[in-house]
Amino acid sequence: MEHMGGWMGSPACAPQQSKQVSGEVAEVFYVDFGNRESVAVSSLRSLESLPSLQLSTVPPVASAVELAGVKVPSLDDEFGVEAAQLLSQITIGLKLQCRVVMREQAVDKKGERVLVSLAAAEGPSVAASLCEAGVARTVRPRSRAVGLVVDALLPFQQQARKDRLNLWQYGDVDSDDDM
């Protein structure tokens, strides 16, 4: 993608992940920064059309990860924006420790899914803070490693449920749909 007079590598989002803005705009995902942006299709080039740059031989520096043991609403779901705002508030400017809990093959069989635990040196983990605020909930673990994470998160979720915070405002929200 052309950016500030230069080129940078960025895979276009898969159609199922992209929201169509118009026929002249595409959504791209910046693999080294983790953000998405809608850009003019005219500013995009395939890597094959720019052989001198050899961008295809440079691996991404960053990896996509998911918080282990929790389900967080998407931005389009109820409390999704609140979850994103809280995530930003509790992580911005902090030095976080990332522990890989588990790696597994992605559902679409393309690549791998990396489940992590994020925490500052002091205080609860990021997932615990989200559960405590009632903007995330624990999931049924599929492995012993994730089960240990879920066990540590349950007291935070139980308190949010008791206090009927956000997701829990009307009671139980557990579902077998995505467990």
- Residue ranges covered by each domain of the chain: 2-57, 66-168
Q: How far apart are CA 23 and CA 36, in angstroms?
A: 18
| 19 bridge partner residues | none
Q: Check residue 178 and give its pLDDT.
A: 45
Query: Residue 12 contacts by C-beta under 8 Å, 6 or more apart in sequence?
Result: 18, 26, 27, 28, 29, 44
**Any idea how long the chain is?**
179
This model's pTM is above 0.75: no
Classify 66-168 by CATH class: mainly beta
**Is residue 15 scored above 60 in pLDDT?**
no
Query: Residue 22 contacts by C-beta under 8 Å, 6 or more apart in sequence?
Result: none
**Is residue 129 scored above 60 in pLDDT?**
yes
26-80 pLDDT per residue, tens: 777 776 666 778 888 777 766 666 666 555 566 666 677 899 999 999 999 999 9
